[in-house]
Amino acid sequence: MPDRLSALDASFLYVEDQTTPMHVGGVAIFDRPPSGFTYEQLLALVGARLAFLPRYRQRVLGVPGHLARPVWVDDVDFDLNYHVRRSALPEPGSDEQLFDLVARLMSRRLAPERPLWEAYFVEGLSGGRVALVTKTHPSVVDGIGTIDLGQLILEETPAPPEPFEDLWTPRREPSRTQLVLDAVSEAVQRPGELAENVRAAATDAVATVGKVAETLGGVASTVVRPAPSGPLNVRVSGGRMFAVVRTRLDDFRSVRAKHGGTVNDVILAAITGALREWLLSRGESLTPTSTVRALVPMAVNDAETAEYATPALIGNEVAAYLVDLPVGEPNPVLRLQHIGHAMTDHLDSGRSVAARGLLKVSGFAPATLHSLGARAGGSLSGRIFNLMITNSPGPQVPVYAGEARLVEMFPVMPLMRTQALAIGVTSYHGGVYFGLNGDRKAAYDVGLLGGMIEEALEELKGAHW
């Protein structure tokens, strides 16, 4: 039987266009060790791990006439050097120059005729640092059969990449005739899917997306009203702006200890305070009841495995939860309390995965969890939320790619067609790192918003009840 894309994975391909590429990105910054960390060493490291990620050497092949969803096939012309590329900034490259490069890279759609991922080894950063910028399509990472490449190349123990012999042999690509025969055979067994496949391909998968959204759990059982209107919801352009925020985990913990809630609640409260100031700076009129609705994908236990398995990424799912962020509330402590109440249902469900559980996953699990978050968000109508915010805890000990120590990691979440901002958050080794991906026209001042997140955190730290 063909390895056919699921309805959800196919929908990501159908809704994608040049202005709204769906890939999830990551910006990892490393200290280059005395022994060096070269492009050739990165190639060896990635090449050795691809045996564990067969999907990374497969491409999507459409079925003639859209008689069935596309299939995964081995890329007989797979070229590792095409997917792992070398880039450089003029030395000494600044962080601002790196993030300008990231914005340009993220605005470019992945080549649909090749495996849907890319990595860029960026040299020339100040202080002898190097960066690894990754782009992975959410159809590639399902968290069960395939995880993110970043989860496999990062380890807790430094070790030089070992030479490897690539013994992979691609399977022959199916002929057009075989694709049609397989599709007809499946259509006989499930006749309703034939019409659905043709309609989804022709109408940007609205029907398909609506159907698969029913499986996501977090918002499926709730009839939701449209999200509030505002500057976050415009038709996006093809350009991007990228900004980052660096904070310390201890600051969020101190606010939690003082005012209650969880670290995730405090992170959302800091973002809420920043959005409030950002909206006011744009002349938006806010009332005490004004809100911005965030889609917050969160990891949950798979009910079938939870009772006998330690919380882990494989076998877990990510559910999408809608949270109305109280941007109209001027008091930072009340904002935090409102958010805490909004998250209570998720915490009381007994399905949430604690941060300590996620930290037991080998490698750098946040890379995979952010991809799963994009899958959850991309399957829902953008009319019911204003922006997506993903937050995934990472290890609190140093991790390495080869012998190069990871210093910082910033997620880059994709933009939906009518959403000008997406925020990804990752904690790692005492830091909490925000990646803000904004539309170049509608969110040109995303760097200003980043500074406001820092100010909102300081406001929470100094607040008294």
CATH number at residue 370: 3.30.559
Min mean pLDDT across 90-99, 214-223, 233-242, 387-396 is at 214-223
Q: Is residue 252 part of a domain?
A: yes
**Looking at the predicted structure, is the pLDDT value of residue 353 above 80?**
no
Query: What is d(CA 318, CA 352) in angstroms, rounded to the nearest whole number?
Result: 10
Q: What is the mean pLDDT of residues 216-242?
A: 74
Least confident of 11-25, 35-49, 262-276, 352-366: 352-366
pTM: 0.86
Q: Which of 67-71, 160-164, 248-252 has the highest mean predicted lDDT (pLDDT)?
A: 248-252
What whole-number distance in Å separates Cα of residue 115 and Cα of residue 112? 7
Are 220 and 226 in contact by the 8 Å Cβ rule? The answer is no
Q: Distance (Å, rounded) from C-alpha 230 to C-alpha 238?
A: 20
Residue 358 lies in a domain: yes
Residue 245 lies in a domain: yes
Considering the domain boundaries, does residue 291 fall inside one?
Answer: yes
pLDDT band at 216 (very low <50, low <70, confident <90, very high): very low
The proportion of the chain whose per-residue pLDDT surpasses 70, expressed as a percent, equals 79
The DSSP secondary-structure symbol of 234 reads S
Q: Has residue 357 been placed in a domain?
A: yes
pLDDT in tens, 400-418: 999 999 999 999 999 988 8
Residue 206: the pLDDT is 41
Which whole number is the average pLDDT over 53-78? Answer: 93
For residue 231, tell me if it sits in a domain.
Answer: no
d(CA 134, CA 411): 10
**Any idea what DSSP says for residue 233?**
-
Amino acid found at 181: L
Across the chain, mean pLDDT equals 83
Q: Cβ contacts of residue 401 below 8 Å, gap of 6+?
A: 28, 30, 37, 42, 45, 132, 153, 154, 155
- Whether the predicted pLDDT of 100 surpasses 90: yes
Burial of 407 (0-12, 13-18, 19+ CB in 10 A): middle
Domain of 291, in residue numbers: 240-393+419-425+432-461
- Taking the CA atoms of 312, 318, 321 and 327 in sequence, report the sign of the dihedral they define: positive
What local confidence, expressed as pLDDT, does residue 208 receive? 37
pLDDT number for residue 218: 45
Handedness of CA 12, 302, 227, 229 (dihedral sign): negative
Bridge partners for 227 per DSSP? none
Peptide bond before 366: cis, by omega within 30 degrees of 0?
Answer: no
- Residue 401 and residue 385: Cα distance in Å, rounded? 37
* pLDDT value of position 17: 87
Number of separate domains in the chain: 1
- For 106, residues 6+ apart whose C-beta sits below 8 A from its C-beta are 21, 23, 25, 135, 240, 242, 412, 437
| Per-residue pLDDT reduced to its tens digit, 116-140 | 999 999 999 999 999 999 999 988 8
Which helix (H) or strand (E) segment holds residue 392: the answer is: strand 387-393
Flag whether 313 is in a domain: yes
**Which has more pLDDT, 98 or 148?**
98
Residue 58 lies inside a defined structural domain of this protein = no
Nearest to 278 by CA among 387, 164, 186: 387
